[in-house]
Amino acid sequence: MQQDFLERLRKIGMVWESSPEKAIRAEQELKSEFLASEEGAVEQVAQVLADPSSSHQSLELALEMVTLSMSPKFIPYLIQLIELAKDEDLCEYAADILGDYGEAASRQIIEALNEDFKQRKYSPLLVEALGGGGTMEFVEGALKDFLSDPERYEDWFDLPHFAWKLADSEDKERSLSLVSELLKNKGLGREEKVRLRWLERRLIDEKKYEEEIAREEKEERDQLITLTIIGILHSPISAFAPDGPMPVIDDNTREEYSPILYEIEEYIFEYYRDNPSLKDGEVMKHLKNLRDGLWKVDEWRDDFEGGLVIRLKMALFSMRRLRFTKGEVSACISHVLNSLKRHREEGYERAYLDFIKDFFEGRLVEKTSEPEQK
């Protein structure tokens, strides 16, 4: 192997910029040299993987060399590359390779995830690469820790994604029992519950689960073919929500209905921003009209009410897998109406509107002031 192997590997990006034809030949030469080399080439490829300044082309070629060798020495460098999360495509490539190591990589991946969890950091790609010895013990241990202290996992842990590692469990009964305990957690959002229930179905009967998923996907494709945006706008809202009872929404259940509650309140905020003369009393009147006529009236002449119905139709269609029922949508409108009534008791004609204005403008400020990810 030529002594300048590392230097040429580092500069392959510059070759691509000047001449793609030369770059293709250079890459083939480097791969041939790597295959013909001894352990020294592994160390040099590892240096490129570990260097944050390495170009996309250098890293991609280095990863191709990893697949040619599959030396265990590359495992920590693949983990480090995924943790840095600088290039999404390369991270996915590295995770695929890491998953192919199987048993050989499981201990190091578990160690990395344990350190991440201590820092309240979740790496989906590392979780997906996890397999082999110790995986189920680690997954079950982490999920039991979640059950003992859910608040510690709030806002950073993707519970359903992580729990899906149980789908590969050999002890289905034990995994089912654990999923059942997770579903009892009152802080779960609706989407989290839906994803955990899919896992539950998968653990109960894998074949039946696959058939149900295939049927649901076909129904969704058929619906997408027939329902264009214009079709959605001109269809009655009842077409997007099945029948169902009207639940009571309180502090314990609010999280489950937050996707619909958020759509209603954000719409009110946006309407108020564009119509600053709006008052709480007018919003109350509109919400009462919607609550009483949502499933009976197909066309809404009023601007506010018609706009909110369109917003709800688009939301229900986009969140169709969450299967919000008519009763649940009505309960969300009533919940917002009750919140409005409580704020009106303050005696100020825009107490509620100013409350949600402060809330949503605060969220906008938070988003724009977040530091850039480097």
Q: List pLDDT tens digits, range 31-66.
A: 999 988 867 789 999 999 999 899 999 999 999 999
What is the rounded average pLDDT for all residues in the chain?
A: 89
So what's the pLDDT on residue 364? 52
**Each residue's pLDDT tens digit, 177-203:** 999 999 998 888 898 999 999 999 999
* Residue 116: per-residue pLDDT: 96
pLDDT score for 37 = 84
Distance CA 170, CA 168 (A): 6
Reported as a single tens digit per residue, the pLDDT across 94-152 is 999 999 999 999 999 999 999 999 999 999 999 999 988 899 999 999 999 999 999 99
Secondary element (H or E) of residue 249: none
CA angle, 247 then 252 then 253, to 5°: 35
pLDDT of residue 367: 46
Domain spans in the chain, listed from the N-terminal domain onward: 134-226, 239-369
Are 95 and 69 spatial neighbours (Cβ–Cβ below 8 Å)? no
pTM of the model: 0.69
- For the stretch 259-297, pLDDT in tens is 999 999 999 999 999 999 999 999 999 999 999 999 988
Contact partners, residue 247, CB within 8 Å, separation at least 6: 253, 257, 327, 328, 331
| C-alpha–C-alpha distance, residues 36 and 302, integer Å | 76
Cβ atoms within 10 Å of 130's Cβ, excluding its own: 24
